[in-house]
Structure 1
Amino acid sequence: MSLASLIKRLQDIMRKDSGVDGDAQRLAQIVWLIFLKVYDYKEEEAELDDNYVAVIPEGYRWRDWAVGESVKEQMTGPDLLDYVNNKLMPVLGGNAIRDEAGHDVVIFDKTDARSLLVKSIMGDATNYMKNGYLLREVVNLFNEVDLEDSNESHEFNDMYEGLLKGLQSAGTMGEFYTNRAITTFAIDHVNPKLGETLADWACGTGGFLIDALRHMEKQVELGDVEGMKQLQTAVRGAELKPLAYKLVVTNMLLHGIELPNIRYGDSLSEKSLSDYRGNDLVDCAALNPPYGGVALPEDLMSFPSDLRSSETADLFIALTEKRLKQNGRAVIVLPDGFLFGNDGAKLNIKKKLMQECNLHTIIRLPQSCFAPYTSIATNLLFFDKTGHTEETWFYRLDMPEGYKHFSKTKPMQRSHFECIDQWWDNRTEIEDDATSTYKAKKYTFAEIEANGFNLDLCGYPTEEKVILSPEETMENFVSRRAELDKEMDDKLAAIKALLEG
């Protein structure tokens, strides 16, 4: 089954169901179904080892209720709806159900890490579908995908990534997805090594984490069992929103991570900033924190008073700087507001970052790189914990030739960053003669400090504006109106002459 066909058929079936209202609910419904199918497939693989202890209780695995040897043996209609709503969902959430004797029993009572992962996904999952026959059609569509077939497994993964992109059109959930071209470029230049750990404390659907895994997979040689084990613990993340959390966990399972190390909760209030040490620290970090988020009181209390910015994106910078190991490397996607902001906490965070880390590169991204979902101007800040900042390079990435803006049909590509790839290891200042500015330039710490730590230095051309007095403005208006009136009179006279002729 083709990717486009599977997605269209899922959408067509679920649109008929009165319980599913819009893209957000449709995605939420699909996510827990995908999770259970993928998890059961992974368990079947693991059961080849005689010592493996199954996580999901028998009778509640995908193979037990979603698959049947014949159509007659498949639960459907009201029976399927009753089973899903009153047995499957509460059991896998770790809740009690009523047995035949009328007693409340907890069937899924295990508390090991894998069991807790399943409970965290299914605990607040909701079956929105009200028609059991349509639910059976959806389940059977997923049964048509054979994850043992490498081609179909790859196609299924592509479908899943397509669903992740669909979040961008599902209201405010667009914050969960970051353009693949950006994540790949960022990870390439953070360059996580096999044996290191990369974290994203606002991971959304896991774009940075998956690209980091792919980057490190290339470093594993054929037959390297130890290298494959290192990949299992190579990335970690955290996510506050429940749907995004389910998406990233399933995404990690699809990419071969047996026990995804993804924390469900608010990274900013996990503990006091001064308490991070030991295993809390990581070798690399890559994240795109939510913009415009307002910090909660408990978030602010986790930070020193001089760093308590009201914007969550600012707090994520301070958190990342704190949780990097010595010689660690990081990249953060940030809006322009952080670059030129000079309120107390924002200014203190910039000072702390440059004094305790080497903020070596800031890449100004084209304004429409997140189009059509947002027009916020964004930047990539690369820094490492090798010492204080001595100089910072700024590079302005312009729209590629032939593009007026990026769009769904003409999205940003990894190849658009090749000019920076070529410049990265042999940095020179690049003047832009056409606009009397520059595309690349460096500033020393002393110059940035003298400029009040304003980091908005990426060389965008600006137009000089002439401010007129009220009297001059009125005179210009009257003069221009007289010119337009004369043009109109001349054209009317010409038309009248033609008609008389």
Structure 2
Amino acid sequence: MPRKARDAARPALTTAQALGALLKSARDIMRKDKGLNGDLDRLPLLTWIMFLKFLDDLERQREAEAALAGTRFRPAIEPPYRWRDWAANPQGITGDELLAFINGEETVRPDGTRGPGLFAYLRALTSENGDDRRDVIATVFRGVDNRMRSGYLLRDVIDKVNGIHFTSSEELHTLGALYESMLREMRDAAGDSGEFYTPRAVVRLMVQVTDPRLGETVLDPAAGTGGFLVEAFAHLSAQVRTVAERKVLQQRSLFGCEPKPLPYLLCQMNLLLHGLDAPRIDPGNALRHRLAEIGERDRVDVILTNPPFGGEEERGIQDNFPEDRRTAETALLFLQLIMRRLKRAPTSAGRPARAAVVVPNGTLFGDGVAARIKADLLEQFNLHTVLRLPEGVFAPYTDIPTNVIFFDTSGPTREIWFYEQPLPEGRRKYTKTRPIQFEEFSEFLAWWGSRAEGPRAWKVDGPGLIRRDEAGRVVAVNLDLKNPAARAAEDHRAPAEIVTSALAKEREVLALLEELRALVDEGPG
């Protein structure tokens, strides 16, 4: 085909500004619908609509490539359920007819024949010939539904999304950034229901220092909306030089688990938008397998995760763990799973398997089962670094102090380095609108490669932290160690300085109380 003809057939690129306006317009339309209540309803609906448009654009590309190669192409979604069959025409089905086609178990389809409704068809898809796209689609749509009550408003939203072209890397990059901004809004809304998401700066730091290499396998067993996997994908993409390496990245590098239907859908879309063609996300609970049955074939080279903490797992899940290490605390169960799933042999890059894991302070100082699990960690793995995050990193969702622990399979722990990340000068805390920034970790990154003790860093003897009773049983392993430099400074303060500090803290409390009084006086309006 002549170049001019190709260019004429290709849709014009949508600018970032136009994409932003288009998505805002779609969300404004959804706000008029009585069946949707806030972004917790609107974003999933917009996501599954975009998901189907993306798949159809991807299928068109693959169909064209197969035609050029003279090979047979079989679509993941058959007519008349493809986007182009029912959604692409602005004059197509709408109103009650559209709702019946999407929601019905059986309905009149856009081509006039009777058959399963759209969701019923998608949920029943099964993979064939090793192509797991169908399984991904089926799993996604088993976890979502259509809550819009107006088929006319739904048609308006579909027409808006039809203006997005998932056919150029520029647009995918732009849409990926916009989608991430919507995910942040989603996280803000979800924070009220106990979902705590890892700040992007912390995710990027954990990926950078663990430094996954192409050919290594990366797992997030609590993937959420896919933040760690997206960042790891970007990190690995920069290493790709050949078609064969691209295949390794796409098919054998990234894995995740996410049992909740909504985060699973958001994770799939997030990874698709960032360039992973067929995300390998397990929709089951990562803790559902017996720990003793996880063997070498189930192990990976790198684990990056922020597992849920503060929750409680049911008895059936706890029974998958050794009797003396069972607990309802999800963070401790995940820590055992992570240790079990790290490969014991060196990776393809000749390095030990390694993990970076966000844990609450309670994991560091807990006794009983927690102490036994930490003793396993120190005796079977090299826990080489504990990064103590500043207070409020997860604000406004929780004020629980958190840490990132870094360990690998190079041998038992000999010494543990602690690094205390400070708040920026002049800041009392982080907020939703002023979160932690990646640039704040610059000193930590410089320290990482050439470690030395200083005002923020200190090291301790690892084996010496394990306390045992007379029978040799582990009774305590305290990793909640305070900065000795800060403690020494505290011990040597002059009395006048102590009084001044106490008065300053009192003034801060009074100021906060005044703010609270003002909010109460304003009332609910």
TM-score by shorter chain over 0.5: yes
Deviation at 1:89, TM superposition (A): 11
Determine if the alignment matches structure 1 residue 376 to structure 2 residue 391.
Answer: no
Determine if the alignment matches structure 1 residue 199 to structure 2 residue 219.
Answer: yes
1:176 & 1:208 partners in 2: Cα distance? 14
User: Paired residue for 1:39, among 36, 55, 60?
Assistant: 55
Aligned AA (1:236) = F
**Do the aligned partners of residues 90 and 330 (structure 1) sit closer, same or farther apart at CA in structure 2, a change above 3 Å counting?**
farther
Report if aligned partners of 2:19, 2:175 keep a CA contact under 8 Å in 1.
Answer: yes
1:281 & 1:76 partners in 2: Cα distance? 49
2:115 & 2:170 partners in 1: Cα distance? 44
User: Paired residue for 2:239, among 219, 230, 234?
Assistant: 219
**Equivalence for 1:250:** 269
**Equivalence for 2:369:** 345
**Equivalence for 1:476:** none
Aligned AA (1:146) = H
Report if aligned partners of 2:143, 2:262 keep a CA contact under 8 Å in 1.
Answer: no
**Relative to structure 2, which stretch is displaced further, 56-65 or 405-414?**
405-414
Report if aligned partners of 1:440, 1:458 keep a CA contact under 8 Å in 2.
Answer: no
Deviation at 1:155, TM superposition (A): 1.9
Deviation at 1:306, TM superposition (A): 1.5
Deviation at 1:422, TM superposition (A): 0.5
Aligned AA (2:276) = I
Deviation at 1:253, TM superposition (A): 1.6
Deviation at 1:143, TM superposition (A): 1.5
Determine if the alignment matches structure 1 residue 29 to structure 2 residue 49.
Answer: no
Report if aligned partners of 1:192, 1:284 keep a CA contact under 8 Å in 2.
Answer: yes
Aligned AA (1:332) = V
**Equivalence for 1:445:** 462
Unmatched runs of 5 consecutive residues or more in structure 1: 92-97, 432-438, 465-501
**Equivalence for 1:490:** none
**Equivalence for 1:475:** none
**Equivalence for 2:32:** 16
TM-score after normalising by structure 1: 0.83
Aligned AA (1:154) = H
**Equivalence for 1:316:** 334
1:148 & 1:117 partners in 2: Cα distance? 21
**Equivalence for 2:354:** 329
**Equivalence for 2:114:** 99
5 Å-filtered alignment, 1:160-309, equals 160-172=179-191, 175=195, 177-221=197-241, 224-232=242-250, 233-269=252-288, 271-309=289-327
Alpha-carbon displacement from aligned partner over 1:106-142 (angstroms, at most 9, x marks no partner): 7965433221111111123211001111111111121
Deviation at 1:90, TM superposition (A): 12
3-state SS in 1 of match to 2:303 = strand
Aligned AA (1:263) = D
**Do the aligned partners of residues 171 and 211 (structure 1) sit closer, same or farther apart at CA in structure 2, a change above 3 Å counting?**
closer
**Do the aligned partners of residues 441 and 100 (structure 1) sit closer, same or farther apart at CA in structure 2, a change above 3 Å counting?**
closer
Deviation at 1:154, TM superposition (A): 1.9
Deviation at 1:211, TM superposition (A): 0.9
**Equivalence for 1:64:** 85
**Do the aligned partners of residues 384 and 258 (structure 1) sit closer, same or farther apart at CA in structure 2, a change above 3 Å counting?**
same
Deviation at 1:321, TM superposition (A): 0.4
1:257 & 1:400 partners in 2: Cα distance? 36
5 Å-filtered alignment, 1:390-429, equals 390-429=414-453
**Equivalence for 1:481:** none
Identity %: 39
Alpha-carbon displacement from aligned partner over 1:36-77 (angstroms, at most 9, x marks no partner): 112222212221224331111111111211111xx4x32222
Aligned AA (2:238) = K
Report if aligned partners of 1:41, 1:147 keep a CA contact under 8 Å in 2.
Answer: yes
User: Paired residue for 2:410, among 386, 404, 417?
Assistant: 386
3-state SS in 1 of match to 2:56 = helix
Aligned AA (1:268) = L
Aligned AA (2:86) = W
**Do the aligned partners of residues 348 and 3 (structure 1) sit closer, same or farther apart at CA in structure 2, a change above 3 Å counting?**
farther
Aligned AA (1:114) = R
Determine if the alignment matches structure 1 residue 357 to structure 2 residue 381.
Answer: yes
3-state SS in 2 of match to 1:49 = helix
Deviation at 1:8, TM superposition (A): 2.9
User: Paired residue for 2:166, among 124, 144, 147?
Assistant: 147
Deviation at 1:320, TM superposition (A): 0.4
Deviation at 1:324, TM superposition (A): 0.2
Unmatched runs of 5 consecutive residues or more in structure 2: 1-16, 345-351, 469-475, 492-525
2:127 & 2:467 partners in 1: Cα distance? 56
Alpha-carbon displacement from aligned partner over 1:351-373 (angstroms, at most 9, x marks no partner): 00111000000001111212222
1:39 & 1:372 partners in 2: Cα distance? 36
Deviation at 1:446, TM superposition (A): 3.3
3-state SS in 2 of match to 1:370 = coil
3-state SS in 2 of match to 1:421 = helix
**Equivalence for 1:81:** 99
1:85 & 1:158 partners in 2: Cα distance? 31
Aligned AA (1:54) = P
**Do the aligned partners of residues 231 and 162 (structure 1) sit closer, same or farther apart at CA in structure 2, a change above 3 Å counting?**
same
1:309 & 1:182 partners in 2: Cα distance? 27
3-state SS in 1 of match to 2:88 = coil
Alpha-carbon displacement from aligned partner over 1:194-230 (angstroms, at most 9, x marks no partner): 0010001111011111111111111112xx0111011
2:37 & 2:201 partners in 1: Cα distance? 32
Report if aligned partners of 1:168, 1:177 keep a CA contact under 8 Å in 2.
Answer: yes
1:274 & 1:194 partners in 2: Cα distance? 29
Number of equivalent positions = 441
Report if aligned partners of 1:429, 1:442 keep a CA contact under 8 Å in 2.
Answer: yes
**Do the aligned partners of residues 63 and 398 (structure 1) sit closer, same or farther apart at CA in structure 2, a change above 3 Å counting?**
same
Report if aligned partners of 1:201, 1:237 keep a CA contact under 8 Å in 2.
Answer: yes
Aligned AA (2:190) = G
Report if aligned partners of 1:176, 1:204 keep a CA contact under 8 Å in 2.
Answer: no
**Do the aligned partners of residues 443 and 109 (structure 1) sit closer, same or farther apart at CA in structure 2, a change above 3 Å counting?**
closer
Deviation at 1:265, TM superposition (A): 1.1
Aligned AA (2:258) = E
Aligned AA (2:231) = D
1:310 & 1:89 partners in 2: Cα distance? 46
**Relative to structure 2, which stretch is displaced further, 39-48 or 199-208?**
39-48
2:169 & 2:134 partners in 1: Cα distance? 27
